[in-house]
Structure 1
Amino acid sequence: MPGRLSPKEKADTLAWLRRISGDLATATIKRLEESLPWYAEMPPARRSAVGLVAQAGISSFIQWYEDPTSTPWIAADIFAAAPRELLRSVSLTQTLQLIRVTVEVTEERVAGRDADLRESMLRYSRDVAFAAADVYARAAEARGLWDARLEALVVDSILTGEADEELPSRIAALGWHGRGEVAVLVGTTPVQFDVDQLRRTARKIGVDVLIGVQGSRLVVVIGRADLPGRDDTASDLPFPEIARRLEPGFGAGHLVLGPAVPALVDAGQSARAALAGFAVAKAWRHAPRPAEADDLLPERALAGDPLAKTTLVERIYRPLQAHSADLVMTLWSYLDNGRSLEATARELFVHPNTVRYRLKRVSELIGWDATGPREALILQTALIIGSIGTEVTRRRAASARRM
């Protein structure tokens, strides 16, 4: 233990340490350059900052040896020399390497002095190592809190559609690894929400996520990514399958997946559809979990969602109308006659096989099959909204001509 020397011996040792402190600092810097490649490759400014920390460690050791009770503030003072530069320049592993080299150089110089000094140096190096770990732990905690606030801000910007020129830089600051298409998944927040487990699941299936908790609502922005630890069998899964695999991370209740959009900056479109679908999902008695927002277009349209109305018209009504009036008339008749081929054929004075062929063309053209009950509802809603819109457009045009 330090203090076994007489006062005069300790004073002589302290005087000797102060005389050689400059030489120790110089020898330490030289050893760092020789033994640590990462130090030699650093830019001069950062290398100087790390060197200051090493010199502060030697000076602080001398002060600590004089008064061991000063450990708490002296150990922390080492990293106060250039804390930001240190954290930006080197990792915790590299910092511990720095401490080890400094201790080795000092040990070599004091090896023949006395056992008390060497033991003191070992105790001090242990305290400094713990102090370094504490500095990095606090920095990581602060960064984690900052990242959480920034992530919440980004998700909120996506949901509100208030994306600005700063959104890409905020996304980059979060370390987003997503590439290509993005989709938004909206559900309920579980009572015991394990955000880390949700992130691990996402990483395993090869996607990056942004997570936002808004009270009882949980929002996850999903983007495909090349991440370490991903399951090779989960390469480029479709978004509905990704949503099914993330489903256990959500609470009970409805879960709605928005349509895929080209990039993260366009995620607001997917988010609006997912939120609108989530708001009306209870109107679909047997809604799957997860349900796609586009499968809830009728409910969304009835609730007044303008995006759903536009989607129904642009993706169903107008393509059919532009392709063939016969397809529109056949679809109308088929749906109005309770999806009966024979009744439709009688009304249109055609053979049932002709009706069957036209319905197949409808499915090929727009992707929805009128023979299924759910998709029939979607198609009938599109025809109604499209017809209303067409009539309103026609009246406005006629009114404009009379003026």
Structure 2
Amino acid sequence: MSTQLTPILTKFWDDPQSWTLQTYEDNEGYKALRSALAMAPEDLVQATKDSGLRGRGGAGFPTGMKWGFLPPPDGGPRYLVVNADESEPGTCKDIPLLLAAPHFLVEGMIITSYAIGCNHAFIYLRGEVVHVYRRLMRAVEEAYAAGYLGKDILGSGFDLDITVHAGAGAYICGEETALLDSLEGRRGQPRLKPPFPAVAGLYARPTVVNNVESIASVPPIVLHGADWFSDMGTEKSTGFGIFSLSGHVTRPGQYEAPLGITLRELLDMAGGMRNGHQLKFWTPGGSSTPLLTDEHLDVPLDFESVASAGSMLGTRALQIFDETTSVVRAVSRWTDFYALESCGKCTPCREGTYWLKQIMVRLEEGRGLPGDIEKLDDICDNILGRAFCALGDGATSPIVSAIKYFREEFEAGMHTPCHELFPPERSTLFAKETLPA
């Protein structure tokens, strides 16, 4: 496996107008669509299965297999819904992709829709990113004007409309069934499964819900072949992915590389830790994944290896923290987020995240009580696997893993505030400017 960067989705991000149709067509844009329209839909589904493409939204479920779950056509509509509600702390790959090269997603949606027999597809975008919404709308307009969307696409007889929907700003709407409820105009809350979206999704019709990067990866696969894609990455985690490095690293940013690359290799490419500091802990897939430490620098970043290390690859949001950072304070901020974003539908998550927040605040302020650490573990145990959706599970991950690796810092929270042990000014990324008197 090569551990070099593989600029594919990020190939022309530095072009002065990378988001335009002209730039995309200058870089093999929409060639894959022409090839796809000459293929049978079932062959496209099979090619996606053969490539080994797994969902890039966190769970890593095989994309082609998800498409294959749709029931046989019954004469009614079926839908493709793209989940662009990226909003977890640290996760920042889909928004930059849509901002820099939105036509990857548009072309991928057309190919996918053709493969599954969909004539109306939707993009559910996080509503706060208005600049991305405008750019995505413009890309769809360009595709219509060029004949890539609408009626009789490129003379193939295939029709497709794409609707870009701005969400209402709730993290829970990143859960696929809550997203569907929100898209239908209802309050975004998870649905009971089964039935799964493939059987009864949007408007109770068969629906495929995929992440932005998953669908954007389809055109390169169609253009270059399933073998080309599967030759990258590892045996069970094939292909490339965008790794988002943030935090205490010299050159934070998006690094597109084969799955299976290690954090050590990515840090070398990113200039290492800032100012010679030492790595303390990091997240492999956003704030909802268990923390890892410097002992995991050489764990291959693929689905299986990260799971074996006790965490999840997730969205490949690599948040890097050095020795100046308080684990308790960092985890407390994430716990605030999950308590705020809980939709309140189920008791374990609604009540559990509230009490986790109360205890984390006490420990952060040095007011911890005897038994607080054990109480955190107990509450997490009562949430994990018992919540209605994965939000509750995600809220427990950083707490349980932080106690596992840094229990002494939690014990210090019984008597000493975090700001005394780890002064915030030491871990800040940007020095405060001295204002004139």
Given the two structures, how large is their TM-score scaled by the length of structure 2? 0.26
Structure 1 length normalisation: TM-score? 0.28
Relative contact order, higher structure (CA 8 A, sep 6+): 2
